[in-house]
């Protein structure tokens, strides 16, 4: 059997299992075991457990359940609502300040929790009703929360970036630093769009008022006193200090990523106990249950994805595909564009975890051969995968928003997020034109590297 036939068969069987409705981890594991049985020595089946264990025996992966625990602790308290309320009060006088408050609240909460769905749920449950009550259109209110939630896989600590660092064999600390400025860029783009959209909706509300005399809540001026502003800080500042402390511990060389994750989880549990009184067993049990469930699901996907990649490598499918791509002698930028489009299309159907672990053996060697910095590419890939979280047909954040705001139609949610998809793609272009957006901070903190795009 030729390598082309084997590769096409492997891809076709993978698609069949994926679209069969089976959980992703079982689909990938089944394909791997089937091809081990058909095309590898019989003794290979006796080493499935050993292979999965060896692939997952990484100290970096140990940090994932701990970061999930930290996110679950923060996400199941009122930290998200309080953070949103504080942003709203402090930005109330800015045109479009409510939309900007949602963006900033999403960014800060995402950086603390590291979870896109948790960010959408925590901020959206308070932000969407407030925006609608004040006259914003349902689509915009839903879109800005769904897009803001995607920052959870770009801003550190990001579970997606942890997996990319493992798959690409790159420095996790450098990768985390590389995501900060692009994350800030996306926050600025989202906030700028919020101001422009507010002005457009404000003008429409004024025109409607002049035409029919019906005043929209958008036309009302809401002000907050200095006392009200400072009253919002005590419940927010501790969590912001937690975020800063975790970053200082990680980048200051005081702790490894896994130690930092453990420290952040313990401090998050302590904070919700002190601030919100969440310390009784009945209060902590849902947090631990959620952490166990999500960690188990994620580690199953990681383990089966790594087994899937191992089988591809053993059968020389990934190496042959990479050699074929290199042998096409595509221009480096056309190669990059093709790979990013492929990642975006995969994001319509697969979660970022599976995309990274399934495609890394194929796409990273040609990119490295073309002279691209894999840290820089990791940021681009993460942003492109973010679009999959809000892009139809199966963007996860779309359904999270639909769940917390069932009265907003899915059609309105989709039209509301599409401008943010465009802004994310604009950010990708800007990072390609100005690679220093992603590389300047890690170079300044950890030293420059020779390879640059």
Q: Which two tokens stand for residue 285?
A: 């049990």
CB 381 within 8 A of CB 338: no
Distance CA 443, CA 34 (A): 45
Q: What is the pLDDT of residue 378?
A: 93
Distance CA 389, CA 398 (A): 8
Burial of 28 (0-12, 13-18, 19+ CB in 10 A): buried
CB atoms within 10 A of CB 54: 12
Domain ranges of the chain: 61-446
pLDDT in single tens digits along all 453 residues of the chain: 678 788 889 888 888 887 787 788 888 889 888 998 888 887 777 778 877 777 677 777 778 888 888 878 877 777 777 777 787 788 767 777 778 888 888 888 877 776 677 777 777 777 788 788 877 888 888 888 888 888 877 887 788 888 888 888 888 888 988 999 999 999 999 999 988 888 888 787 777 777 776 666 666 666 777 787 788 788 778 878 887 887 788 777 787 777 888 888 888 888 888 888 888 888 889 888 888 888 888 788 888 888 888 888 888 887 787 777 767 777 888 889 888 888 887 777 677 877 888 788 888 888 888 889 999 999 999 999 888 878 776 677 887 788 878 888 888 888 888 999 999 999 999 999 999 999 999 888 877 665 555
If phi over 0 gives left and psi between -120 and 50 gives alpha, with beta otherwise, what is residue 277? left
The per-residue b/e assignment along 412-439, b for 16 or more CB within 10 angstroms, e otherwise, is bbbbbbebbbebbeebbeebbeebebbb
Considering the entire predicted model, what is its pTM? 0.81
Q: Using DSSP, state whether 135 is helix, strand or coil.
A: coil
| Angle in degrees, CA 4, 8, 10, rounded to 5 | 115
């Amino acid at each position: 059997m030729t390598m082309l036939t084997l590769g096409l068969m492997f891809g076709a069987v993978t698609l069949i299992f994926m679209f069969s409705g089976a959980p992703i981890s079982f689909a990938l594991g089944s394909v791997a075991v089937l091809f081990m049985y058909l095309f590898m020595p019989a003794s290979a089946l006796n080493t499935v457990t050993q292979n999965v264990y060896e692939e997952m025996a990484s100290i970096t992966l140990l940090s994932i359940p701990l970061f999930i625990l930290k996110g679950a602790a923060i996400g199941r308290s009122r930290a998200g609502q309080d953070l949103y309320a504080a942003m709203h009060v402090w930005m109330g006088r800015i045109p479009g300040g409510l939309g900007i408050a949602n963006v900033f609240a999403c960014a800060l909460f995402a950086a603390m929790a590291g979870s896109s769905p948790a960010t959408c749920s925590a901020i959206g449950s308070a932000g969407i009703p407030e925006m609608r009550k004040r006259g914003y259109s349902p689509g915009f209110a839903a879109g800005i929360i769904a897009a803001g939630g995607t920052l959870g896989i770009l801003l550190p600590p990001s579970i997606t970036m942890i997996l990319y660092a493992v798959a690409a064999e790159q420095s996790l600390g450098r990768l985390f630093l590389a995501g900060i400025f692009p994350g800030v860029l996306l926050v600025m783009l989202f906030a700028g769009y919020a101001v422009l959209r507010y002005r457009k909706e404000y003008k429409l509300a004024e025109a409607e008022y002049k035409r029919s005399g019906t005043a929209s809540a958008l036309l009302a001026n809401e002000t907050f006193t200095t006392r009200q502003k400072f009253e919002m800080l005590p419940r927010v500042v501790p969590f912001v200090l937690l975020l800063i402390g975790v970053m200082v511990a990680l980048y200051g060389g005081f702790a490894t990523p896994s130690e930092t994750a453990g420290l952040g989880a313990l401090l998050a549990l302590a904070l919700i106990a002190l601030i919100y009184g969440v310390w009784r067993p009945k209060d902590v049990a849902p947090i631990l249950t959620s952490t166990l469930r999500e960690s188990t699901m994620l580690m199953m996907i990681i383990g089966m994805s790594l087994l899937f990649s191992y089988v591809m490598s053993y059968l020389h499918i990934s190496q042959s595909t990479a050699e074929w791509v290199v042998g096409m002698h595509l221009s480096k930028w056309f190669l990059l564009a093709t790979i990013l489009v492929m990642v975006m299309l995969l994001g319509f159907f697969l979660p970022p975890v599976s995309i990274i672990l399934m495609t890394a053996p194929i796409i990273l060697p040609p990119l490295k051969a073309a002279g691209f910095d894999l840290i820089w590419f990791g940021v681009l890939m993460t942003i492109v995968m973010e679009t999959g979280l809000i892009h139809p047909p199966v963007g996860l954040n779309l359904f999270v928003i639909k769940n917390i705001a069932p009265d907003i139609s899915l059609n309105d949610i989709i039209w509301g997020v599409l401008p943010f998809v465009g802004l994310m793609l604009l950010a990708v272009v800007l990072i390609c034109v100005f690679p220093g957006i992603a590389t300047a901070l890690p170079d300044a903190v950890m030293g420059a590297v020779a390879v640059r795009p």
